[in-house]
């Protein structure tokens, strides 16, 4: 599944590059106002923080929500107390787009994460050109040399990388990179199986000062509370928000 998703992301990026050259995208990225300070927004606090996700579908669950106006949903997330907004821009299996990200960026004052299968420098420049403040970099999708290259580019453009891992070897690679924000994903993106115990098993491998993000396997406030008790500074939530009342759900999740 992961290989298929990466191949699709590369094909789609190549199609966009045929229309809009890398030089044009680089200029647009450099012309954007500076990225927002995501490290400050996600810094550890006396309560858990939430990255709230605009997510229409997933390969494991299919269609989740129509979301005709992603900016309006993001505004509700901001009202509900989210610390950042994640926007899925992958179109084939998740139903997202860069236009979604641009619309969200124009509407909210929170940092915005581009969540996609980022494997090319072109995609990083696209993210900044569209207004992203954070970019997801998945260790499972990248060889270490490529991860290092893309992490450096994200940083050079003034954005923050959320480096995602889902096993001990990938956590070690993220730590070696010096990543300030590391996500531990309970979902294995090769099989899409969930293991909620992955975060508690691996979190102690993250150095002091790292912003620790728990991802996936969040359905209830109790799930958020368990991640918090295990050491999460931030929890990324998508499906539970788009399939219910986002403000009420966020309020409940943050209360724990």
The CATH number covering residue 100 comes to 3.20.20.70
pLDDT, the chain, mean: 96
Q: What is the dihedral of CA 96, 119, 188, 113, to 10 degrees?
A: -50
- pLDDT confidence bin for 235, thresholds 50/70/90: very high
* Catalytic annotation, residues: 53, 55, 115, 164, 185, 215-216
Instruction: Report d(CA 13, CA 122) in Å as an integer.
Output: 8
Instruction: Please report the pLDDT score of residue 1 as a whole number.
Output: 85
Residue 256, pLDDT above cutoff 80: no
Cα gap 252→242, rounded to integer Å: 15
Tokens of 183: 């996500």
Name the one residue in this structure whose structure tokens are 């901001």. 78
Q: What is the mean pLDDT of residues 74-97?
A: 97
List pLDDT tens digits, range 191-221: 878 999 999 999 999 999 999 999 999 999 9
Domain count, the chain: 1
Q: Over range 50-68, report the average pLDDT.
A: 93
Q: Whole domain around residue 202: which residue ranges? A: 2-255
């Amino acid at each position: 599944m992961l290989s298929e998703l990466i191949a699709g992301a590369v094909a789609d990026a190549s199609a966009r590059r045929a229309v809009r050259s890398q030089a044009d995208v680089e200029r647009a990225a450099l012309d954007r106002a500076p990225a927002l300070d995501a490290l400050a927004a996600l810094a550890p606090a006396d309560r858990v923080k939430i990255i709230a996700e605009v997510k229409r579908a997933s390969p494991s669950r299919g269609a989740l929500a129509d979301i005709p106006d992603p900016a309006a949903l993001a505004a509700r997330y901001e009202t509900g107390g989210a610390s950042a907004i994640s926007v899925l821009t992958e179109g084939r299996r998740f139903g997202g787009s860069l236009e979604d990200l641009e619309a969200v960026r124009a509407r909210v004052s929170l940092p915005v994460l581009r969540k996609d299968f980022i494997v090319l420098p072109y995609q990083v420049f696209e993210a900044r050109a569209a207004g992203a403040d954070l970019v997801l970099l998945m260790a499972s999708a990248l060889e270490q040399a490529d991860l290092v290259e893309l992490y450096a580019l994200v940083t050079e453009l003034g954005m923050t990388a959320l480096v995602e891992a889902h096993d001990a070897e990938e956590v070690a690679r993220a730590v070696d990179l010096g990543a300030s924000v590391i996500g531990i994903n309970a979902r294995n993106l090769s099989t899409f199986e969930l293991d909620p115990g992955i975060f508690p098993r691996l979190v102690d491998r993250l150095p002091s000062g790292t912003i620790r993000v728990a991802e996936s396997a969040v359905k209830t406030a109790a799930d958020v509370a368990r991640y918090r008790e295990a050491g999460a500074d931030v929890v990324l939530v998508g499906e539970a928000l788009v399939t219910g009342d986002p403000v009420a759900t966020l309020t409940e999740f943050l209360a724990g």
